[in-house]
Amino acid sequence: MGPGVDPVVPPALAGQSVVLILALVGVAVVVAVIISLFVRRHGESDAPEPGWTPTNEVFKDPGTDRLMRVWVDRLGDRHYVPDVRH
């Protein structure tokens, strides 16, 4: 190959590259969805910790369809715990 000549990628190899990239993107999306099913959201807990105080605020989590109660800790941080009383 001389100077100024661009290498040519054979069409079969170019097609395999596209398939490989699409496959990797697909795998990444599937992994992200699976991980999102097991990771808790910000401030979400299974049960209240000692020292938390329940509030009157209860809401239906649109992602899980569960009733959640808001609890506050001594610092005023909010925590979301499934409300088993409803």
pLDDT tens per residue across span 11-54: 666 678 888 899 999 999 998 888 776 666 666 788 899 999 99
- Does residue 82 sit in the same domain as residue 51? yes
More confident: 42 or 1: 42
- Does residue 59 sit in the same domain as residue 27? no
Domain membership of residue 2 (yes or no) is no
- Does residue 58 sit in the same domain as residue 31? no
Core vs surface per residue 27-42: b (16+ CB within 10 A) or e: eeeeeeeeeeeeeeee
Domain membership of residue 3 (yes or no) is no
Domain membership of residue 32 (yes or no) is yes
Going by the DSSP 8-state scheme, the letter that residue 64 receives in this structure is T
pTM greater than the 0.75 cutoff: no
9's enclosing H/E stretch is none
Domain membership of residue 17 (yes or no) is yes
